[in-house]
Amino acid sequence: AAQGFNCVLLGRHHQYANYNDIWGYVAPNGKEYALLGATTGLVVIDCSNPATPVQRGYFPWATSTWRDIRTYGHYAYVSSEGGGGFMIVDLSNPDVPVNLGIFGTSYFGNAHNICVDVGAGKLYLAGCNTGTPVFDLAANPANPPFIGYLTGSGNSNYFHDLCVENGYAFGSMIYNGVLRIIDVTTPFPGTTLSNTLTPSTFTHNAWPSNGHSLIVTTDERAGGVVKFFDITNKSAPSARGQFTPNPVSIPHNAFIVGDLCHVSWYTEGYQCIDVSDPNNPRQVAAYDTWPGASGGYNGAWGVYPFQPSGNIYV
């Protein structure tokens, strides 16, 4: 543990563990913040000096192992498996963040994940007991009206995770074992273009490249891999290469930024994979965050690789 390959530890924060997912925010003055999901709530951390992260806010709500965070403008949106609705936090002054309350409780009783289509100004809640509810952030980001359900309820309609951008929804249907691509430019709730099986048929997460030429999927099972697909034709994704640093381990969340794929890989920690040749992905950096044995669900849950500084949050 605590060994880095082509990357170095800059700082640590440890107050409300255990933690789950993580996101980031950049203030208008350029200061960078981590939005950290804890079992008991949301933690806002000033990372402008990464060697000494400073907690700026803690908002307890809906205790649960599972929590997720996304942003739109100067607002953060937080979901939980432990309660209905979503929390909205105002980050207009991120050094003094403000909890605006819980919204949307009448539409679902729990949510596994949350997704924001920044371009269209829409909020999607994934993994809910009622389906996939959608809210209109563009209309009112501080109190978004309900639009409808992208999918109905039940395991066959269940999105474990979701990324929506540039007219397409990329859904991870963990119980179906498929990556589903939906054209959301057609009348709501959109048109399904394809359903693509992932290697271990337990599709946990998917994230496209900036130009939508490539997508990465993860299967949250022992021996799972990150798998890459060419999605130039979204009606017929084409399989490319795959990667694992350890065949007994479990990948969790993966994101493509440029030619790099950043992965939180449970007991294998942070993994950075070069996908400039998607047929032959290769490890170019890693940091072991877990002191125990490989395999199982301990270690690195989330990774956020989108900060302008290039600093990675794990």
- pLDDT tens digits, residue range 77-98? 999 999 999 999 999 999 999 9
Q: Is the pLDDT of residue 111 over 80?
A: yes
Percent of the chain at pLDDT > 90 equals 98
DSSP letter string, 188-241:
TT-EEEEEEE-TTS-EEEEEE-TTSSEEEEEE-STT--EEEEE-SSTTS-EEEE
27-to-55, 90, 97, 127, 254 alpha-carbon distances in Å: 15, 12, 12, 30, 25
**Residue 9, Cα to own-chain centre: how many angstroms?**
22
What are the two backbone dihedrals, phi and then psi, of residue 156, each rounded to the nearest 5 degrees?
-70, -20
Average pLDDT over residues 30-36: 98
Task: Report how far apart the first and last C-alpha atoms of the chain are (Å, whole number).
Answer: 14
Over residues 130-176, the pLDDT tens digits come to 999 999 999 999 999 999 999 999 999 999 999 999 999 999 999 99
Q: Which amino acid is at 90?
A: D
- Contact present, 102 and 83 (Cβ < 8 Å): yes
User: What gap in Å lies between CA 104 and CA 136, rounded to an integer?
Assistant: 11
Mean pLDDT confidence for 246-260 = 98
The confidence score (pLDDT) of residue 17 equals 84
Give the chain's length.
314
Dihedral of alpha carbons 186, 189, 192, 193, sign: positive
Structure-block tokens of residue 154: 């039940």
Q: pLDDT of 205-228, one tens digit each?
A: 999 999 999 999 999 999 999 999
Q: Is pLDDT of 247 > 80?
A: yes
pLDDT at 7: 95
pLDDT confidence of residue 1 = 76
The residues, any chain, with a CB within 8 Å of residue 299's CB and separated by 6 or more, are 265, 266, 267, 268, 269, 289, 290, 292
* pLDDT, position 3: 84
What residues does 57 pair with on adjacent strands? Answer: 44
Q: Quick: pLDDT tens for 168-206.
A: 999 999 999 999 999 999 999 999 999 999 999 999 999
Mean pLDDT of 229-234: 98
Separation between Cα atoms, residue 67 and residue 69, nearest integer Å: 7
Measured in degrees and rounded to the nearest 5, phi and psi for residue 279 equal: -80, -20
Q: 259 CB contacts (<8 Å, ≥6 apart)?
A: 274, 275, 276
Distance CA 100, CA 144 (A): 12
Q: How far apart are CA 88 and CA 96, in angstroms?
A: 14
DSSP string, 231-276: -SSTTS-EEEEEE-S-TT----EEEEETTEEEEE-BTT-EEEEE-S
Cis amide linkage into residue 129, ω under 30° from 0: no
Please indicate, yes or no, whether the overall pTM of this predicted structure exceeds 0.95. Answer: yes
Instruction: Write down the pLDDT at residue 310.
Output: 97
Average pLDDT, the chain: 97
Structure tokens at 277: 């040749």
Judged by DSSP in three states, 137 sits in coil
* Average pLDDT, integer, range 104-126: 98
Q: How far apart are CA 164 and CA 120, in angstroms?
A: 9
Alpha carbon 200 to its chain centroid, in Å, reads 20
